C-alpha cells in the first residue's frame, strides 16, 4: 500500500466518493500503522500480522505485576473518549479495558439524552467538542459513514485526533473483524495457519456488519473458501459477493447448514439483527430454526473445527455447546481486549517500545 496522503488535501465531497481502497492511504501513518481506523479493508495480512504479534506481546506482558505496571505507563499521558450512541457490552467494555491496560484515562457518553445533543447540538459538533478534551475518540453510531465524516472533519480541525470505528450502522465493525481474525490465527497457529480453510458464516448476513467486515479481511489470506448460510431474504449482500469474486475468492451461497458443517474449519454464527427491521415484526416472519447450532450440529464438526460468534447470542447457539473445547466464542471475546489494546498502542506509536520490553523480559 502507498501511504502519505493527507485528509487536509481532499474535500469531504471528493473523499466520500472514493472507493475504500483509495481512502486507505489517507487514514494511515508513514510507518503503515493506522491513524484513523474506519474500515476493515485498511488492514492487509502484513499489518494484521504486526497487530497479532503486538497483541500476543501485550497479553504475555500483562500476566505479571511488573508487566502490568509497564503497560500502564505506556500511554498514560493520553485520554480516550468512548462515544457509544448505540448499545454495546463487549465492544465498549473491551475498549475500556484496553485503555486501562495501556494507562489511558477515559471519558464516556453512552446516552445522547445526557449530552448537549439533547439541546439540539449536532453530532458533528459533539464530536468536535470531545476532541477538545481527548486524544482519541472511539465511536459506535447507528449512522453509516458518521465515523468517516468525523475523521475527515477532525483531520481538518486544529486538533486532529484519531477516530476508531467501533461499529457504524449495519455497514462496518472493523475491530470486531480484527479480533475475529486474531482468534482464527490463534486457533490454527499449530495446524498450518489461516490458509486453505473453509469458513462458514451463518445467520442474518444481510444486516450483520461483523460478517461484512470479516469477509473482506479474509480476502487477504490464501485459499479461504467463504460459505454464506442464511435464509434467502437475509443472505450476504451482493456487493460483498461481487468484491470477493472479483478477488478470486471461492464463495458459496446456501441455506443448508448441516451440509456444510463437516467441511468447516470455522463456523461463524450470528444472531438475527431485528433492530434493523424496516417494519415491526419483519424478521419474525422468517423461520430461522435451520440456522441454529446445537449438539446435533456439534457432532458433525471436525475435531479441529472451531465455533465462533461475535455475541450477543440469542438461541442460535445452544448453551449445551458452551463447554466443548471447540466453542471459541468466550475466548474470542477476551481476544478482543488484547487486539484492541494492540490497535490503540500502534495508533499512538508504542509498538516498538512494547515489543522491546517483551523481547527483553520473556
Ligand atoms: N460483538 C459486539 O459488537 O458486541 P457488543 O454489541 O456487545 O459490543
Chain-centre distance for alpha carbon 233: 25
111: pLDDT strictly greater than 60: yes
- Residue 317 · residue 293 · CB < 8 Å: yes
Site of grid cell 486524544: 135
Kindly give, in sequence order, each residue whose CB lies less than 8 Å from that of residue 9, ignoring residues fewer than 6 positions away.
none
Q: Check residue 83 and report its DSSP letter.
A: E
Q: Is the CB of 7 under 6 A from ligand 1?
A: no
| 45-56 pLDDT, tens digit each | 999 999 999 999
Q: Is the CB of 176 under 6 A from ligand 1?
A: yes
Expressed in angstroms and rounded, the spacing between residue 166 Cα and the centre of ligand 1 is: 9
- Residue 341 · residue 184 · CB < 8 Å: no
| 171-207 pLDDT, tens digit each | 889 999 999 999 999 999 999 999 999 999 999 999 9
317: pLDDT strictly greater than 60: yes
| 61-89 pLDDT, tens digit each | 999 999 999 999 999 999 999 999 998 99
- Clarify whether 207 is annotated catalytic: no
Core vs surface per residue 223-236: b (16+ CB within 10 A) or e: ebbbbbbbbeebbb
Residue nearest atom 1 in ligand 1 by C-alpha distance: 310
Expressed in angstroms and rounded, the spacing between residue 335 Cα and the centre of ligand 1 is: 13
**Which atom belonging to ligand 1 lies closest to the Cα atom of 311?**
1
Site of grid cell 492487509: 44
CA distances from 112 to 71, 117, 118, 186, 241 (A): 32, 6, 7, 38, 36
State the pTM of this model. Answer: 0.94
Q: Is the CB of 90 under 6 A from ligand 1?
A: yes
| 226-282 pLDDT, tens digit each | 999 999 999 999 999 999 999 999 999 999 999 999 999 999 999 998 888 889 889
Q: Is the CB of 335 under 6 A from ligand 1?
A: no
Expressed in angstroms and rounded, the spacing between residue 106 Cα and the centre of ligand 1 is: 19
Residue nearest atom 4 in ligand 1 by C-alpha distance: 90
Q: Is the CB of 88 under 6 A from ligand 1?
A: yes
β-strand 79-84 against 105-109: which pairing, if any? parallel
- Clarify whether 119 is annotated catalytic: yes
Three cell numbers written together for 83: 462515544
Q: What is the helix, strand, coil percentage profile of the chain, to 5?
A: 50, 15, 35
**Which atom belonging to ligand 1 lies closest to the Cα atom of 167?**
3
Kindly give, in sequence order, each residue whose CB lies less than 8 Å from that of residue 124, ignoring residues fewer than 6 positions away.
149, 150, 153
- Clarify whether 331 is annotated catalytic: no
Amino acid at each position: 500500500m502507498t501511504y502519505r496522503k493527507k485528509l487536509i488535501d481532499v474535500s469531504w465531497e471528493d473523499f466520500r466518493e472514493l472507493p475504500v481502497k483509495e481512502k486507505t492511504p489517507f487514514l494511515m501513518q508513514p510507518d503503515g500503522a493506522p491513524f484513523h481506523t474506519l474500515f476493515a479493508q485498511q488492514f492487509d495480512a502484513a499489518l494484521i500480522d504486526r497487530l497479532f504479534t503486538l497483541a500476543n506481546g501485550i497479553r504475555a506482558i500483562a500476566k505479571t505485576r511488573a508487566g502490568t505496571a509497564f503497560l500502564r505507563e505506556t500511554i498514560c499521558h493520553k485520554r480516550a473518549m468512548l462515544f457509544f450512541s448505540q448499545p454495546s457490552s463487549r465492544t465498549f467494555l473491551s475498549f475500556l479495558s484496553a485503555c486501562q491496560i495501556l494507562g489511558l484515562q477515559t471519558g464516556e457518553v453512552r446516552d445522547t439524552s445526557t449530552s448537549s445533543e439533547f439541546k439540539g447540538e449536532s453530532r458533528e459538533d459533539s464530536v468536535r467538542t470531545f476532541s477538545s478534551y481527548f486524544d482519541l475518540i472511539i465511536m459506535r453510531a447507528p449512522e453509516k459513514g458518521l465515523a468517516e465524516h468525523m475523521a475527515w472533519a477532525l483531520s481538518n480541525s486544529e486538533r486532529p485526533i484519531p477516530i476508531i470505528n467501533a461499529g457504524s450502522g449495519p455497514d462496518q465493525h472493523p475491530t470486531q473483524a480484527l479480533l475475529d481474525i486474531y482468534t482464527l490465527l490463534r486457533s490454527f497457529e499449530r495446524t498450518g495457519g489461516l490458509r486453505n480453510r473453509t469458513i462458514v458464516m451463518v445467520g442474518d448476513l444481510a444486516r450483520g456488519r461483523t460478517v461484512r467486515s470479516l469477509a473482506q479481511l479474509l480476502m487477504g489470506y490464501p485459499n479461504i473458501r467463504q460459505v454464506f448460510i442464511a435464509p434467502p431474504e437475509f443472505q450476504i449482500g451482493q456487493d460483498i459477493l461481487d468484491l470477493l469474486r472479483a478477488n478470486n475468492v471461492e464463495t458459496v451461497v446456501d441455506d443448508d447448514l448441516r451440509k456444510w458443517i463437516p467441511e468447516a474449519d470455522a463456523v461463524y454464527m450470528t444472531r438475527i439483527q431485528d433492530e434493523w427491521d424496516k417494519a415491526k415484526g419483519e424478521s419474525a416472519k422468517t423461520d430461522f430454526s435451520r440456522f441454529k447450532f446445537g449438539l446435533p450440529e456439534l457432532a458433525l464438526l471436525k475435531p479441529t473445527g472451531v465455533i465462533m460468534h461475535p455475541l450477543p447470542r440469542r438461541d442460535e447457539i445452544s448453551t449445551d455447546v458452551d463447554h466443548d473445547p471447540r466453542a471459541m466464542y468466550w475466548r474470542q471475546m477476551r481476544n478482543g481486549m488484547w487486539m484492541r489494546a494492540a490497535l490503540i498502542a500502534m495508533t499512538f506509536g508504542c509498538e516498538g517500545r512494547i515489543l522491546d520490553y517483551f523481547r527483553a523480559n520473556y
